[in-house]
Amino acid sequence: MLRGDRVSWEEVSSWARSGNADLMGAAFQALMSRTDIIDGVEGDRFIVTYLIFIIEGRGGSAEIFQLPPYIAAHEIARVYKHWHEHASPPDDNLKYIRNELSRLYASGDEKQRRRVVDGALEHIFEEASCRPDFEDWKDSPLLAGAIDEAMEWIRGRP
């Protein structure tokens, strides 16, 4: 895919569903750079699915469209804050992100937990209006710890 190439939603969608890290990366790049090919709901869901795929460390096989897991976590924070600002609650995409971050944190090793807290939650919580979205995490001691860590970073910022 070269800059300026015309691609259809059907083509991008097939890349998104491929399970191939490079094709998924190409779909992500296409969706992030060209709004005229996006099928709103399916495109938005793929963006989150792809970023989660990368945060989990499953994008390591990519040779062309490499995205480091911490950058994916920062991107998911940016996407979350943007969608939160423009959403009419309740928003299924925001809930999907929260559920996936919860799953990643609960099932992950220490590296993955750091990506969730340091890469995503800390930056989501920079926007105070996003914090109440994670209130139900306080019901789980494990997830409450993630919130506490992220908020500790927020309180320590100048």
Domain borders along the chain are 1-66, 68-158
Q: What is the pLDDT of residues 41-79, one digit of tens each?
A: 677 788 888 889 889 887 776 677 777 889 999 999 999
pLDDT at 1: 46
The pLDDT assigned to 143 comes to 97
Q: Tokens for 126?
A: 């920079």
Model confidence, pTM: 0.81
Arithmetic mean of pLDDT, 130-155: 95
145 within 8 A of 117, measured Cβ to Cβ: no
Q: State both tokens at 131.
A: 């914090």
Question: What's the pLDDT tens digit per position in 101-142?
Answer: 999 999 999 999 999 999 999 999 999 999 999 999 999 999
What would the two tokens of residue 26 be? 């190409």
Largest CA distance in the chain: 49
Q: What is the dihedral of CA 69, 72, 76, 79, to 10 degrees?
A: 170
